[in-house]
Structure 1
Amino acid sequence: MRYSKEHKQETHARIVKKASVRLREKGAHGIGVADLMKEAGLTHGGFYAHFDSREALVIEAFAYAMDRSTERWRKVADETPPDKRLATIVENYLTPVHRDDPGHGCAIPTLGAEIARESAKTRKAFAAKLEAMIDMMADQILDVPRKVARKQAVAALATMMGTLVLSRIAGNGEFSDEILAAGREAVVGRAAAAKPAAKKAAAKSKPN
């Protein structure tokens, strides 16, 4: 039976979406192609009609997951006053709900360590999506030069993602909640403290 181009595209998208969830739940090497295809309601034999290799699927699944995170952050930013956007993104990210649902959360805390051991092609694709995340976060840091905002965005993301990893290691009790709270305070407090310092430095650099 021949399927339409639209049907194939829909099936491809379904495989990627299902794979992105399972990979975040089980890790890049915790689930095989046969299981991924089964999750999408397809047979193992149909895999190569959609992907050249397992690596190709992994890259698309990673990209899908990271794009969804960036889109969620952008939606939060669009619905929040400019001066509260960064804090709101951080507070929505470092939550017990996100901690307890890795399959539908950010891909970096769940897969980052594994990506570092993948092929150069996979790392390059992952890095490009990471940079898009950083740029989006930097857009929410106002009243400082772009270079400073980008530096703060990198530090914020590193803290957020490290906090989520630690909170998951700690389980889902009071200790884990304490870690989440400390991470939120660290990112939001650091950003608030950095603004006056950045403004003061900018003022000093201006010619008289």
Structure 2
Amino acid sequence: MKVSKAQAAQNRQDILEAAARLYREHGLAGVGVAEVTRGAGLTHGGLYRHFESKDALVREACASAFELPKAVLQDALQRASPDQARPAFVQAYLSAAHRDQPGEGCPVAALAVDVGRAGGGVAEAFTQGVKGN
């Protein structure tokens, strides 16, 4: 069954979001392609239409994992007065909500150890995420 370009783009985004969440929850080695695509509501057969390899998926998922936590922390900083920005950042980062939801949290805390062992350019993508690029 052929899907539209818009649906294909949405499927790709769904896979990336599921992978980023699952990798943060279970680690890079703790999640396979089948779990990622199931988490995106798709079958694993179509994954390789969107990504050349599992390494490519991991690279892109690591890079995209920085987007949501960055947005949440930026929101906390914007709501704070200038003199309360640093304490607001620390409070948001160290909150129980952040701790209890690793799939939505900081990829540095969740993946730093795994990234050091990963190949396939994952460390470079992760480094770029840490740098904010």
Pair in the same fold by TM > 0.5: yes
Question: Deviation above 6 Å: which 4+ runs of structure 1?
Answer: none
Match of 2:118 in 1: 118
Q: CA RMSD in A?
A: 1.5
TM-score (norm 2): 0.92
**Residue 119 of structure 1: CA displacement?**
2.1
CA deviation vs aligned residue, 1:46-99 (integer Å, no higher than 9, x gap) = 111111111111122112221211122222222211111111010111012221
Structure 2 residue runs of 5 or longer lacking an equivalent are none
Task: Give the structure 1 partner of residue 51 of structure 2.
Answer: 51
Q: What is residue 131 of structure 1 aligned with on the other side?
A: 131
Structure-1 residue corresponding to 2:20: 20
Indicate the percent of aligned positions where both proteins have the same amino acid.
35
Kindly indicate whether the alpha-carbon contact (under 8 Å) linking 2:73 and 2:89 is maintained by their aligned counterparts in 1.
Answer: yes
Equivalenced residue count is: 133
Q: Rg: which structure is higher?
A: 1
- State how far apart, in whole Å, the 1-side matches of 2:17 and 2:114 are: 19
CA deviations on 1:154-176 (whole Å, 9 max, x unpaired) are xxxxxxxxxxxxxxxxxxxxxxx
Q: Secondary structure at the match of 1:116?
A: helix
What is the match of residue 30 of structure 2?
A: 30
Unaligned residue ranges in structure 1 (runs of 5+): 134-208
Q: Distance in 1 between matches of 2:63 and 2:76?
A: 20
One-letter amino acid of the counterpart of residue 77, structure 1: L
The DSSP-based 3-state class of the residue aligned with 2:97 is helix
